[in-house]
Amino acid sequence: MGKAKNGAQKVGLMQRLEKDAAICAEGYLFECERRGYLQAGAFVPEVVLDHPEVVTELHREFVHAGSDIVEAFTYYGHREKLRIIGKEHLLEPLNRNALEIAKKVADDSGTLLAGNLSNTNLYVPGDEQSRKDVRRIFDEQIAWAMEYGVDLFVAETFSYGEEALISLEAMRASGVPTVVTLSIHQEPKTRDGWSLGEAMKRFEAAGADVVGVNCARGPNTMLPLLKEIRDAVSCQVAALPVPYRTTPEQPTMQSLKDPASNIRPFPTALDPYVCTRYELGDFTRAAHDMGVRYLGVCCGAGPHHIRAVAEALGRKPEASKYSPDMSKHAFMGTDPTLKPSNREFAERL
């Protein structure tokens, strides 16, 4: 367990969850892409080497907005992803830089440092060699993360339950809490055909501390999945949707269709579908009421979404100092010193 800046022992993940909740900001890939520091497609976080200051600042913004956890930006920074862009020689420096950057922010802010694993895209059901290749990827990323004293591991966006189980087996040796989340695509089951409840039970039995879902689905289509998950396990449950207005017919950000054009909105034209901060606040309250304690937002998340998650949990992160107060707005405000002629004009704006 790491130490906070003042030298005090940090409150660990499991204690935070038992007491109340834990917030984890995700979505670094999309936000760095939007800012012009990461290429959509391969989605490899070379930004941790090319522009570490951008990643540092984004970590700080998410903490300022209420994130309890700083996730080292090693998502899609694994061997297979570096192979596809022809830069395997950068594998270790990329992982180390990401961990170094995140550790500094976590130590400065007293938040928790998370190591991060993701789907490898190498797993093939029934293929023994693919299991070995996947395991090697996890083992090497875990070994680097352990050198930086991570407080927990997050293994995320798995489509295959089996691949998530391989990550759990690899993480278990670390001795730190483990969070495992699936991405649920259009069909509400894993790619190996397990029901959600069955998958979560298997993860819990394999030693996961927190199980759940992240990415792919927006609040509207993730919320209906949560009861089955909560009912299936006795461990803590995680839910981190993408902030997009998905629907029962188009339940994932990848399946959204723009009726006005033939362009698939995913991943770079999703802007018209972005949820408001209030929608993320509503999701957070509803999920928390169902007993889901590990909360956050994935791809597409901005700090305003994370602040809304924090405020929905009754918190006041530093960013709440700047939460909206429309009472002083020149036209829409209610302050009695405002010019009545402007307030009367409000409806004509």
From the CB of 127, what's the least distance to Zn ion, in Å? 26
**Smallest distance, Zn ion to C-beta of residue 299, A:** 3
Residues paired with residue 189 on neighbouring β-strands, in sequence order: 195
Shorter beta-carbon distance to Zn ion: residue 29 or 196: 29
What is the Cα Rg of the chain in Å? Answer: 20
Residue type present at position 132: K
Minimum CB distance to Zn ion smaller for 75 or for 203: 75
CA atoms within 13 A on the CB side of 319: 18
Residue closer to Zn ion, measured from CB, 131 or 279: 279
With vertex at residue 296, the alpha carbon angle to CA 195 and CA 105, rounded to the nearest 5 degrees, is 130
The residues that touch Zn ion, with contacts defined as CB under 5 A, are 215, 298-299
Closer of 82 and 299 to Zn ion (Cβ) = 299
CA distance 246 to 216: 9
Residue closer to Zn ion, measured from CB, 29 or 171: 29
- 5 three-class SS: coil
How near is the Cβ of 29 to Zn ion at its closest, in Å? 7
C-beta of 78 vs 131, nearer to Zn ion: 78
Least gap, CB of 215 to Zn ion (angstroms):
3
Whole-angstrom Cα distance, residue 305 to residue 296?
Answer: 9
CB of 238 to Zn ion, least distance (A): 13
Burial of 74-109, coded b for 16+ CB within 10 Å and e otherwise, reads bbbbbbebbeeeeeeebbeebbbbbbebbbbbbbeb
SS3 at position 41: coil
CB of 324 to Zn ion, least distance (A): 27
